[in-house]
Amino acid sequence: MKIIMLGAPGAGKGTQAKMIAEKYQIPHVSTGDIFRANIKNGTELGMEAKKYMDQGQLVPDELTVKILLDRVAQADCANGYVLDGFPRTIPQAEVLDKALTELGESIDYAVDVNVPDENIVRRMSGRRACLACGATYHIAHIPPKKEGICDTCGQELVLRDDDKPETVLKRLQVYHEQTQPLIDFYTAKGVLRTVDGTVDMKDVFGAIVSILEG
């Protein structure tokens, strides 16, 4: 079972990817994690990627796909995997598709966790973080016991720049321009499935399970 998770930043696709991985005992493959692991282990591909990252450039699609294929070729991916954070653009999807076809493989499902922009702005601007210990809260859903103060270490909580409404709107704009076309790409391949990401997290997961087991 090879699954790609799609959805805007803050839609909750990473959380769902982890839950799918846990239920079906398949790896949750996040491109960020793979890059970090390859760089930490000093692999040839990792060092090549680091060259671009050190210059503040994006790692080219071909190299990203090479690192990804290297990861999914490992024994723990024999029964499938959940891809999170890749592909982000049509060129990336095409390179991945071509590489998988050459291996006689293909993606089984592209699951789009659909959440309207205004919900995402509300969701993310309610987040609060403790810069001291890394704990995270949400003013509506997971509030701290004392407003603005971390339960764990007592330090002040902050609204990160990444979660400010203006930043979120910019990120959503980039998402719609680059990643939204993937919806059409995977629809044309007949593998796209959409779930309502505005409902409770457990209900989103239930809908995904119904798709995977349907």
Q: Cβ neighbours of residue 99 under 8 Å, at least 6 residues apart?
A: 65, 69
User: Considering 2, 13, 66, 128, which one is annotated as catalytic?
Assistant: 13
Q: Return the amino acid letter for 99.
A: A
**Would you list the DSSP string of 130-188?**
ETTT--EEETTTB--SBTTB-TTT-PBEE--GGGSHHHHHHHHHHHHHHTTHHHHHHHH
Q: Cβ contacts of residue 200 below 8 Å, gap of 6+? A: none
- In the residue annotation, 36 being an active-site residue is answered as no
> For this structure, is 13 an active site residue?
yes
**Annotated catalytic residue 122:** no
Residue with tokens 């090479």: 66
Active site residue 127: yes
- Which listed residue (18, 50, 164, 171) is catalytic? 171
Catalytic residue among 2, 66, 71, 88: 88
Dist CA 211 CA 192 (whole Å): 10
Strands 81-84 and 2-6: parallel
Catalytic residue among 23, 36, 51, 160: 160
Catalytic residue among 2, 123, 127, 193: 127
User: Catalytic amino acids?
Assistant: 13, 88, 127, 160, 171
